Amino acid sequence: MNLIVNIESISSKYLFAIINKSSEILILEWISCTVLIFFRTSELSIFKFSEIKLISTRFSKLEITSFDINLIKFKSFIPIALWKSKKIGKIDFPIKEFVPIQSPYITGPPVKTSEMFFGREEVLQKIYNNLRGIYQDNVLVLHGQRRTGKSSIIYQILNQKEVDFMRHYSTVLIDMQGLKSARTSRLCGKIYDKIYTVLSNKHKSFSINIDLPFNDSPIENLDDFFDYLYSHYPDDKILLLFDEFEGLIESIRDGRVDPTFLDSLRSWMQHKENLSFIIVGADQLRTMLKDYSSILFNIAQFISIGHLNEAEAIDLIKIPLKNKISFDDVSISRILDLTGRNAYYIQLVCNALVDRMNQVFRNKVTLVDIEKTIIEKITVFGNYFEHLWERSYNEERLVLIIITDRIDKTGDMVTIDEIIKAIKSFDKGKIDDRKVIEALNNLEDRDILCHEESGSTKYYKFLIDLFRIRIKESTNISDFIGS
C-alpha cells in the first residue's frame, strides 16, 4: 500500500491523525519536527500519541522505544513513518493482524514442570553432590526468603526421576503448609499415606502386614512402619522432602504436635538407613532450629537459596515469549532492577506485561509499558512486601523509608552517612548510629537491600525496586515518625 503524507502544521503539542476506512489521512498535526503516523484498515478512529522518542530516521530500521497511547481500541496497526521532514514520500509496508498472546508465566503456585523452570543448575548440582554420601546420606536444609523458588526446586527434584542419581530414591513430598492444623496422629498418618502411595505405585504387589492405627502412639507407629519397610523392601531408599518446615515447628510451639516428634525425627535421620531427608523453609528456619537445642541444626548441611543470576533471569524474561513478544535491552534492564532477579516477581511482572500487550495490540515491550504496568499493578505486586514490612523492626522500617525518600528525590544510591543524618533530623538522636548500621545489615541479610562500594564508602539501594515503589506509594515519613 502506498501513502503520501504532506505536513501542514508544526504548532500542535500532540500528533493527531484521523483515518478513514480507505486509510486516507484527513487531518494531521505533528510535534517537534517528528512525524509518527499509525493506520488501520477499518472504522474511523482518532489516535493520540505523546512522549515520542526518535530512534532511527531510516525506514529500514524504524523503532519506537517510548510512547503513550490514548485511543479507541483497534486490532491492527503499523507505523507508517517516523521522519524529521515536512514531507514523506511513498512507502510500502505489509499489514499484519495482531494475534492475542496467551501468558506462559506462573504467578501463584510453585513451578512444577520443567518448561517454566529456569536456571538453578548450580543449586541442583549442589543438592545432588551433598545429599548422597559414600557411606551414608547427609541431611540437607534449603533455606531462603519467601518467594525465592525453594518449593519450585523441590518439584524439580521430584520430576528428575530420569536422572541416574534420583533413580536411587523414592521421593516423597510432605507439604507442612497443608498440615498446619494437624495434630500428631494426623501428621504421622499423612507421612505414612504419602510413602505408601509412592511405594504402591512403584511395586504392584506392595502391601503392609502390620497394624498401624496411628491413634494412641502415632510416632511409635511411624517408627514401626519405617522398620517394616527396611526389613521387607531393603532396596527402597526413601527421600522425604519436608516443605514449609517452619509450619511443623509452629505446630509444636502451639501444642498441636508432640515436641518429641523432633527427637524422633533426629533419630530417624541418624539411624534409619533407608531414609534420607531434605528440609525446606523460609529464612527464619535457621533461627527456629537453633531455638530447639540444635535438634537438627548440628547434623544438617544448610544450602541458601537466593535469586537467579543475570543470565538465568534474562532467559526467564525472554524465552517463554520467544517469537511472540520482544524486549529491548533497556526494558530487560528495568525488569531486572524492579525484580532483583527474583523468579517469582519476574513472572509476575512479565505476566502483567503480556496483559498490556494484548490491550494495546503490540508485540514489543517498551519502558513506558513497564512503568505504566507498575503504576497500575503495584498494589497487587506489593502483597508479598506486606510480610517483609511486618517482620521489620521500627529502626529497619525507618531506614527503608529514608532510602526510599532519598532515591525518589535524587535518583541516586544512599550512603550510611546520608541515612544517619536524615534519621537524626527526624528522631532527634533517639536512634544511635550502631542501630542504624545493625538495621542495614539485617535488611541486607534478608535480601531487601544491597550495596555497592566505592573506596571505603557503601552505597545502598533496594534489591527489589518494586518494594521501594510500594513504600513510596503507601508510606509517608512524617506520618511514620508521628505514629
DSSP letters, 119-146, are --HHHHHHHHHHHS-SSSPPEEEEEE-T
Q: Do residues 264 and 103 lie in contact, with contact meaning Cβ atoms separated by under 8 Å?
A: no
Burial annotation 323-343 (CB, 10 A radius, 16+ → b, else e)? eebebeeebbebbbbbbbbbb
Confidence of residue 87 (pLDDT cuts 50, 70, 90): very low
Looking at residue 427, its pLDDT comes to 65
What pTM value is reported for the model? 0.75
More confident residue, 374 or 50: 374
Q: How confident is the model at residue 286 (pLDDT cuts 50, 70, 90)?
A: low
Alpha helices in 340-452, H assignment, sequence order: 343-360, 367-381, 383-390, 394-410, 416-427, 433-445
CATH architecture, range 385-482: Orthogonal Bundle (1.10)
**Averaged pLDDT, 257-266:** 92
Least confident span in 81-85, 286-290, 401-405, 419-423 = 81-85
Q: Residue 200 above 70 pLDDT?
A: yes
- What are the cell numbers at 458? 557503601
Contact of 246 with 285, CB cutoff 8 Å: yes
Highest mean pLDDT among 63-77, 213-227, 327-341, 437-451: 327-341
Whether the per-residue pLDDT at 276 is higher than 90: the answer is yes
For residue 406, the number of C-alpha atoms closer than 13 Å in the C-beta half-sphere is 22
Fold of 121-304: Rossmann fold (3.40.50)
Give the largest Cα separation in the chain, rounded: 93
How sure is the predictor about 163, in pLDDT bands with cuts at 50, 70 and 90? low
In this structure, of 2-6, 156-160, 287-291, 310-314, the range with the lowest mean pLDDT score is 2-6
- The CA radius of gyration of the chain, in Å to the nearest whole number, is 29
pLDDT of residue 164: 65
Mean pLDDT of 42-65: 31
b/e per residue, 265-283, with b = 16+ CB within 10 A?
A: bbebbeebebbbbbbbbbb
Phi-psi category of residue 39: left, alpha or beta, with phi > 0 → left and psi -120 to 50 → alpha: beta
Question: What average pLDDT does range 198-212 have in this prediction?
Answer: 86
- What mean pLDDT do residues 90-108 have? 70
More confident residue, 83 or 130: 130
Most confident of 104-113, 182-191, 205-214, 383-392: 182-191
327 vs 379, residue with greater confidence: 327
Give the residue extent of every domain in the chain.
5-88, 121-304, 310-381, 385-482
* 264: number of Cβ within 10 Å: 16
Sorting pLDDT into bands at 50, 70 and 90, what band is 19? very low
Higher-confidence residue of 266 and 132: namely 266
pLDDT of residue 380: 75
